[in-house]
Amino acid sequence: MSTVPGLAPLAVKICGLTDIASVDAALDAGADLIGLVFFPPSPRNVSIELGAALAERARGRAEIVALTVDAAPDLLDEIVTRVRPTLLQFHGKETPETIAATRARTGCPVMKAIGISGAEDLAAIEIYREAADRLLLDAKAPKGATRPGGNGAAFDWTLLGALDRSFPFMLSGGLTPETVADAVATVRPAAVDVSSGVETAPGRKDPARIAAFVAAARQGVARHPESV
């Protein structure tokens, strides 16, 4: 978790980075975490070789998050061995047992993404919180979607108003430089995550929007220091 002098801590994750330039843009903007996607259907997918190179670029300057979707154990093991992420992100239908077993086998901390569209989806938080080191609350994928996650859409943040803050969570789903400050004030997350909201096209990050997103997230804390 980063700490901005005089402000409450808030971590910022830039996900779906696919080249050195976008990694550098995220680091230069002050991102705390970078996300690498290992899921071929995604336009942000990277190979193990490229992912390892991007991870080395960021190592020591930001946490490295490896995103997978219902990945086989051998793929997870290869990612941990070759990419050496600081966090494995599970974005599919993985069970708590699978997540806990992966953490025990690899020794790598894990984060589970939970799709939210209504109050009934909040029950999954209790189901996964013992198995995962962190939780990411994202918009639930719309019907017919070929990829998990909100696909650039937000969900009703007020659904999270009564959550127990003793287990810190990351907020994702439809965040942009224009909306993240309000999200921080409304939801009071420990961290925020963005991918398509800082792109000019799927998989193509815009350095200016990355910088604007990080700055806006920090400004959201500055305006509402009690919110995080």
Is 28 annotated as catalytic?
Answer: no
Contact 218, 183 (CB under 8 A): no
Q: Which among 15, 32, 108, 193 is annotated as catalytic?
A: 15
Longest dimension (CA), the chain: 46
CA angle 220, 26, 67 (to 5 degrees): 95
Is 15 annotated as catalytic?
Answer: yes
Q: Which among 32, 108, 138, 193 is annotated as catalytic?
A: 138
* Cβ within 8 Å of residue 178, ≥6 positions away: 216
Q: Is residue 81 exposed (0-12), middle (13-18) or buried (19+ Cβ within 10 Å)? A: exposed
**Catalytic site residues?**
15, 138
